[in-house]
């Protein structure tokens, strides 16, 4: 299809950019985690986020460097889940609890209301975790957020955590924005094109978004790159071109 050909035509340039901007995996030492996430290092809850007593400390490499409070919490959760050999289960449980906040306005308000006493939040989270049969890693993480007044940031933390789990599995999310859903054939072509750009060893996970405001064309976002081929952007570029008097001199 035409749009796939447009992306393919820019393969050499994009490949060069990708190679120059590639990210390396980060290794967090216990000292670094203590500085960035002191609660995990010093709280009694941290016992459940580390290896069992008597076992040799397992060093875990974080596949991406995440910054900010949400990034620190997500990275600490990733380390705990990997050490417990429960990454997939923890990811599923965290996404389930986030989905619950979206479905229940009452629960959503509960997570955001800092006027609720910490012990009340902790008790509620313990009960929810028990009913849902959450793993110890997930339960203790939610309790920690409750104690620190961070439940309101759960969705953001979950998104950052998913970035880490995807990197762990060698997956790269590509977000494609269009006016209408892409036909299956064109979606397949686009996915194949993006796979060529990313190369072997990684898997493209395609996510479609609908946005009528772009008027037509596509906007493709992946691996921290944006390819804006929307009619809206082209129209703006043409408008700027026409507003420049110098452009008429060359006609």
Give per-residue pLDDT as tens, 142-154: 999 999 999 999 9
CATH of the domain at 132: 1.10.520.20
- Domain of residue 97, residue span: 69-167
What per-residue confidence (pLDDT) applies to 64? Answer: 81
Residue ending a domain, among 151, 167, 183, is 167
Q: Judge if 75 and 126 occupy the same domain.
A: yes
pTM across the whole model? 0.64
Burial class (CB in 10 A: 0-12, 13-18, 19+), 156: middle
Q: CA 18 to CA 13: how far, in whole Å?
A: 9
Q: Judge if 163 and 74 occupy the same domain.
A: yes
Q: Judge if 92 and 179 occupy the same domain.
A: no
Q: Is residue 3 part of a domain?
A: no
Q: Is residue 219 part of a domain?
A: yes
Q: Is residue 57 part of a domain?
A: no
Q: Judge if 237 and 183 occupy the same domain.
A: yes
Q: Is residue 88 part of a domain?
A: yes
What per-residue confidence (pLDDT) applies to 55? Answer: 59
Q: Is residue 251 part of a domain?
A: no
Residue 38 has pLDDT above 50, yes or no: no
Q: Judge if 183 and 157 occupy the same domain.
A: no
Q: Judge if 149 and 135 occupy the same domain.
A: yes
- Look at residues 174, 179, 163 and name the one whose alpha carbon lies nearest to residue 215: 179
Phi, psi of 227, rounded to the nearest 5 degrees:
-110, 105
**Range among 16-25, 39-48, 50-59 with highest mean pLDDT value:** 50-59
Q: What is the mean pLDDT of residues 40-58?
A: 50
Angle of CA points 246, 250, 251, to nearest 5°: 115
Count of structural domains, the chain: 2
Segment among 22-26, 139-143, 180-184 with least mean pLDDT: 22-26
Q: Judge if 73 and 144 occupy the same domain.
A: yes
Q: Is residue 111 part of a domain?
A: yes
Q: Judge if 154 and 190 occupy the same domain.
A: no
What per-residue confidence (pLDDT) applies to 246? Answer: 59
Going by C-beta distance under 8 Å and a sequence separation of 6 or more, which residues neighbour residue 141? 49, 77, 80, 90, 94
Q: Judge if 158 and 185 occupy the same domain.
A: no
Q: Judge if 157 and 236 occupy the same domain.
A: no
Bridging pattern class, strands 217-222 and 171-178: antiparallel
- Look at residues 99, 71, 50, 39 and name the one whose alpha carbon lies nearest to residue 162: 71
Residue ending a domain, among 121, 148, 167, is 167
Q: Is residue 249 part of a domain?
A: no
Q: Is residue 44 part of a domain?
A: no
pLDDT tier at 89, thresholds 50, 70, 90: very high
pLDDT tier at 62, thresholds 50, 70, 90: confident
Q: Judge if 106 and 150 occupy the same domain.
A: yes
Three-state DSSP class for residue 231: helix
Structural contact between residues 205 and 173, judged by C-beta atoms closer than 8 angstroms: yes
Residue ending a domain, among 125, 140, 167, is 167
Q: Judge if 215 and 195 occupy the same domain.
A: yes
**Range among 49-63, 78-92, 109-123, 162-176 with highest mean pLDDT value:** 78-92
Q: CA 248 to CA 251: how far, in whole Å?
A: 5
Structural contact between residues 109 and 130, judged by C-beta atoms closer than 8 angstroms: no
């Amino acid at each position: 299809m035409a749009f796939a050909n447009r992306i393919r035509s820019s393969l050499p340039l994009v490949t060069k950019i990708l190679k120059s901007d590639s990210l390396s995996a980060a290794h967090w030492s216990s000292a670094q985690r203590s500085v960035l996430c002191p609660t995990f290092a010093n709280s009694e809850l941290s016992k459940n986020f580390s290896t069992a007593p008597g076992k040799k400390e397992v060093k875990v490499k974080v596949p991406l460097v995440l910054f900010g409070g949400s990034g620190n919490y997500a990275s600490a959760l990733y380390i705990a889940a990997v050490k417990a050999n429960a990454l997939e289960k923890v990811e599923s449980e965290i996404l389930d609890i986030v989905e619950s906040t979206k479905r229940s306005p009452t629960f959503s308000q509960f997570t955001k209301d800092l006027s609720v006493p910490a012990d009340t939040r902790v008790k509620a989270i313990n009960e929810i975790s028990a009913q849902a049969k959450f793993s110890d890693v997930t339960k203790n993480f939610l309790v920690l957020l409750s104690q620190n007044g961070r439940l309101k940031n759960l969705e953001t933390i979950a998104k950052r955590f998913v970035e880490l789990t995807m990197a762990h599995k060698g997956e790269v999310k590509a977000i494609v924005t269009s006016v209408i859903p892409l036909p299956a054939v064109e979606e397949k072509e686009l996915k194949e094109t993006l796979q060529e750009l990313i190369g072997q060893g990684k898997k493209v996970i395609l996510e479609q978004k609908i946005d009528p405001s772009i008027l037509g064309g596509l906007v493709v976002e992946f691996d921290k790159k944006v390819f804006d081929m929307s009619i809206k952007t082209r129209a703006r570029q043409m408008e700027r071109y026409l507003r420049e008097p110098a452009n008429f001199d060359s006609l």
